[in-house]
Amino acid sequence: MTDLAAHSQIVGWAIGVTTVLTVLALVLSFVRLIKGPSLPDRVVAIDLVTVLAVAVVGLLAITHGQPDFLDIALALALVAFLATVAFAWYAERTTERLNRDRRAGERVEEPDDG
């Protein structure tokens, strides 16, 4: 067995293990996305899902020997970045609005002389 054949087997095994672990992480991220107790948890989960999707596309590019898939991975990564920024902005605005409404509600309430 030549060194090249040994490396090919090791790389094939590593790609297989990496694919299984990436898909497992993707499933767990979807669970967090669905269950996530708060909006920031869901934002982080969707960001992780997109990062893992980029990893899957990269693994497909390596497995099938198609470097064109890397263009798809790059486009997906850019869109994911913009989506994460938009979700973070939305979460911040929602939190600010809730805090403002709470402060306004506290000022409106009158003490109970009861």
pLDDT tens per residue, range 57-81:
999 898 888 889 999 999 999 999 9
Residue spans per domain, the chain: 3-108
Which pLDDT belongs to residue 114?
47
Mean pLDDT of 10-38: 92
pLDDT at 33 over 80: yes
Q: Per-residue pLDDT tens for 84-96? A: 888 888 888 888 8
The percentage of the chain sitting over the pLDDT mark of 70, rounded to a whole number, equals 87
Which pLDDT belongs to residue 92?
84
Which pLDDT belongs to residue 79?
92
User: d(Cα 34, Cα 38) in Å, to the nearest integer?
Assistant: 10
**20 near 53, Cβ under 8 Å?**
no
Structure tokens at 55: 């990893």
Domain 3-108 part of CATH 2.30.29: no
For residue 112, name the pLDDT band (cuts at 50, 70, 90): low
Helix, strand, or coil (residue 111): coil
**60 near 76, Cβ under 8 Å?**
no
Sign, CA dihedral 62-64-67-72, equals negative
